[in-house]
Structure 1
Amino acid sequence: MNAPLQDACARPVNYLRISVTDRCNLACVYCKPLSPSPRLLHEDILRFEEILVIARAALESGIRKIRITGGEPLVRKGTLSFLKKLSHLPGLEKLAITTNGVLLPSSLDQLQDAGVHQINVSLDTLDPEVFFRITGKDAFHGVWAGIEEALARKCFIIKLNAVALRGINEKDFPALASLALDNSLSVRFIEEMPIGHHHHADHRPVLVQEIKNALKDLGPLIPLPSDPLDGPARKFTFPGARGEIGFIPALSRHFCHTCNRLRLTADGRLRPCLLSDISHDIKGPLRRGADKKEIQSIFISCLRHKGAEHIFHPDSEGQVDTAMARIGG
């Protein structure tokens, strides 16, 4: 087994997030830019066969976990068949997918058959009306049915991702966190990040400490240890709870020193940091006939540009230019 890749700060990198499309069947307020950008053309998006070549090179370089994202990955035709091929690549220890859950009920059989270990569902509220306000679609009940079915199968790790949105879903934090009391799942609260120019000038993000304060009535938060293949969430549980609570303090408390990931965008660029517009073209060399060693050298070159930490904080006025749907979160 190959040792993990390392970045310029000697951090091990064993986790690759792959966006397979910039299309989505929702229009969430934290993802949709104020001025919509044109969608990628078909020829600009990496083909599944190309992604498999890149993934194989990454796994042979020490990547151990791959997450498929979008946009919404399940809207791309062929994603489920692609996942099955991806799951069979040597060296892959954990295969995950992030979805908005709209197509989850009709996809669970194939996700299970493909060998997907973990499903992350973006769910910012348990209130159908607030769900509509955030996403622009009356789809809460279908999403929730998919989550319940996924839990019932007991073959997936289930995580629910809730972006904290000031003035929109703050009252929903206790209800969301309560799901971890009686269910074997993880509820993760994420500070809204300045990506894709969707913020207004007076925007003020909800920070992790505010979220923790909203959960005090549920009991004390007990810290949990992290796994080497985990993402950036700081994990906790409540006394007697079956599940976990996670907090991703992207702005208030940088987790850069533990970052173990690279991102491959839908249009074939490697990004060393979510909160940076630095990226390296991998699609061009691949389509010009680059072999495995050349592909692996692009990974190494990209990691040299993975900085010690990003520049954003709660009062930052800057933005990451690339839309979240294209990066894949």
Structure 2
Amino acid sequence: MGGARVSTPDAAATPAPLVDRFGRVHRDLRISLTDRCSLRCTYCMPAEGVPWLPGSTMLSTDELVRIAAVGVAQGITEIRLTGGEPLLRPDVVDVVRRMAALTGPGGSPEISLTTNALRLPALAAPLRDAGLARVNISIDTLDRERFAALTRRDRLHDTLAGIAAADSVGFSPIKLNAVAMRGVNDDELVDLVRFAVDRGYQMRFIEQMPLDAGHTWDRSAMVTQREVLDALRAAFTLTEVPGRGSAPAELWYVDGGPATVGVIASVTAPFCGSCDRVRLTADGQLRSCLFARTETDLRTLLREGADDDALAAAVRACITGKKPGHDIDDPSFLQPDRPMSAIGG
């Protein structure tokens, strides 16, 4: 890393928590390993894909791990690896191993990963052995033709095989994520919950957010949290699970539990007031919010030889500048220039 000087802070000193101006303590770092993806989901990118980030701008594994180490030293306790599709990064197992070995005031961070599961049959066991704690898997439909239309790839069998592989090596809980879309998969909500509950997984529905590359998001086409719950209550008894904390999903017990279903209602019931997340893009830009329109350039700091104290200061400055909310409902709201695949979920 160009001879960067790594500072050695006083081991006895405990850094102040990563707190923003509104008292939110940040403990969750989302790291995008790549903007590439093996699917072309209609709500994320056009059929021809999007221009990929230039290879020279992508963080090396050493750079990724160094930023993660700075975060863990400042109180980060969970690292979620995202993309794009993070399993497309050739050294993803090594990334997990090195990040799981980090230590900070809260001990070693929990390492989790969000994936489309296509490569999990080959990678589930190596990832578990490297220290991966759990996986979130995207699956919007159980119908093969619908899956092919939604993702523009006929890969439902591979996704299901990946889910089974994650289960077979002991990942738990396995969370299944579906974006609920009007006239597309809103007739499958009950079937998706039954699929998950029957296998001991947790189903989570996500309100479609304005993060598509084509900027074609239409709120009227979005299935709201209320609509999801109304559909599920026609088939199940739902009882709210108390103690949500900073989790993005509100949970309900299904037919008395222990199985649960979750809804991430970023648009109609935003949870910004308890948000504890900060995001690092694959090209080294730190974002205080998924919908932020400004970024903090950590890549340039790294490559110009900044020490850990300077990196930590930049992280704190980014979090200090975090807004109270994403303001999707405000008439002045502007969709981020980057699509979800380039930000990292």
Equivalent position of 1:313 in the other structure: 329
Contact 1:4 1:61 survives alignment (8 Å): yes
Q: Does 1:298 align with 2:311?
A: no
Contact 2:238 2:256 survives alignment (8 Å): no
Cα distance change, pair 199–130 in 1 and its aligned pair in 2 (3 A): farther
Cα distance change, pair 60–209 in 1 and its aligned pair in 2 (3 A): same
Q: CA RMSD in A?
A: 2.1
User: Offset at 1:81?
Assistant: 1.5
Cα distance change, pair 316–134 in 1 and its aligned pair in 2 (3 A): farther
Q: For residues 197 and 88 of structure 1, what CA distance do their matches in structure 2 show?
A: 35
Q: For residues 315 and 134 of structure 1, what CA distance do their matches in structure 2 show?
A: 30
Instruction: Return the letter of the residue paired with 1:45.
Output: M
Q: Does 1:19 align with 2:36?
A: no
Equivalent position of 1:56 in the other structure: 69
Q: Does 1:275 align with 2:291?
A: yes
Equivalent position of 1:6 in the other structure: 19
Q: Classify the secondary structure of the residue corresponding to 1:300.
A: helix
Equivalent position of 2:206 in the other structure: 190
User: Offset at 1:94?
Assistant: 1.2
Equivalent position of 2:234 in the other structure: 217
Match of 2:96 among 83, 91, 98: 83
Q: Identity rate of aligned residues, in percent?
A: 38
Q: For residues 80 and 305 of structure 1, what CA distance do their matches in structure 2 show?
A: 33
Equivalent position of 2:251 in the other structure: 235
Q: Classify the secondary structure of the residue corresponding to 2:234.
A: helix
User: Offset at 1:231?
Assistant: 3.1
Q: Classify the secondary structure of the residue corresponding to 1:310.
A: coil
Instruction: Return the letter of the residue paired with 2:55.
Output: H
Q: For residues 27 and 155 of structure 2, what CA distance do their matches in structure 1 show?
A: 35
Give ranges in structure 2 of 5+ residues lacking alignment.
1-13
Q: Does 1:154 align with 2:170?
A: yes
For the pair shown, the structure with the greater C-alpha radius of gyration is 2
Which moves more between the two structures, 28-37 or 163-172?
28-37
Instruction: Return the letter of the residue paired with 2:266.
Output: A
Cα distance change, pair 154–197 in 1 and its aligned pair in 2 (3 A): closer
1:95-110 matched pairs, under 5 angstroms: 95-110=111-126
TM-score by length of structure 1 reads: 0.94
Q: For residues 202 and 257 of structure 1, what CA distance do their matches in structure 2 show?
A: 25
Instruction: Return the letter of the residue paired with 2:52.
Output: R
Equivalent position of 1:42 in the other structure: 55
Contact 1:117 1:157 survives alignment (8 Å): no
Cα distance change, pair 99–315 in 1 and its aligned pair in 2 (3 A): farther
Contact 1:69 1:328 survives alignment (8 Å): yes
Which moves more between the two structures, 251-260 or 90-99?
90-99
Runs of 4+ in structure 1 deviating by more than 6 angstroms, as ranges, are: 314-317
1:258-269 matched pairs, under 5 angstroms: 258-269=274-285
Q: Count matched residues.
A: 328
Which moves more between the two structures, 139-148 or 234-243?
234-243
